[in-house]
Structure 1
Amino acid sequence: ATHPSDFCVPLAALDAVVEIAGPDGAREVPLTAFHHLPGDHPERETDLRPGELITALRLPPEAASFRGNARYLKVRDRTSYAFAVVSAAAALTLEAGGRIGQARLALGGLALKPWRVAEAEAALAGQAPSAEAFAKAADAALSGARPTGEANAFKIELARRVAIRALTQAAAGTPARIPALPASPFGIV
């Protein structure tokens, strides 16, 4: 199964921190390390220990620098399903000359956790926002992707396209108001 959260994908892109409290006191875990892949302990999906609970999610102050150029996109099977087949959170800072200062890219619907690839982000630093630059970054983000079978092999190309589109829309700027998804209760005025 893939991680179903819409909320965690942009939080991973923006370096969110999970604040946890438990019998041994308080601790913090980067969101990108909070969700576990199966590995040696497939029974552990998160970094929570027995008796612990999440008390807060915190974005670092640097996350505010991305507010002018950020987007989250998701592709669903149909409007009646809430889970993303694939999603992408993209955020950019643009320098005075129009070049990308910093980039953030996280993908959802592909693994047991939101997927963030530093190589894709680094490939965008210093580049002019362009379809070519975004395609190279998407290729870098998915270079190690392998389908688990024929039934989900399409997700790799779909994720590539969604990542490029999210980066393109982020470069265009965050709109003042983003319309609700079709069939969303938030679309009712």
Structure 2
Amino acid sequence: MNNPNARLDTSDWTRLEAAGLIQIGTGCRISPLARFEPQDETDQIRPITIADNVRIGAGAVIHGGTRIATGVRVEDNVTIGQPEEGYAVGRTYTGTGATTLAEGTALRSGAILYAGVSIGAETTIGHRTLIRSHTTMARTATSDTDWSSSAPAPSGTGSGARPCPTSPRASSPKTGCSSARGSAPSTTST
């Protein structure tokens, strides 16, 4: 860009793809109303990677540094990878780091995942769930729990994680979750 204060034109993801700022695999179904934002509020530009057979719904906003694996489903009005800054309980979370969604993850409508979040394979994040920066959520070999903002967090899962009470599997919440707010994320930054 010639003007350091100029913002990227993100109205057409094919332009972003041509510029190397987004990679999209085969078999993806992306709503024309989804939005991709590789440039954040601090003007840092990080590419977005979307693997094969991903579905992204209307109103979804995908920020720079997000890596989405094969078969992920992102429903309507989901926000992924937005930097979290300055208003959370008097603390500032810079929100840097990659946001990664492993194979088969499902993000239900209205979920918000800040930058630096890592979600493990075959995990479902419930409607309107908020996951703070630098949180890692993954199923363990003995777990089959979905996550939502509607029920108290089970002991040992870390702050901000809540099992979905409507899931038939919510009675055995043995999912591993850790939060490393304020420290380096557990994933590799781009």
Q: Which has the higher helix share?
A: 1
Please say which structure displays the higher CA radius of gyration: 1
Same fold (TM over 0.5): no
**TM-score, normalization by structure 1:** 0.26
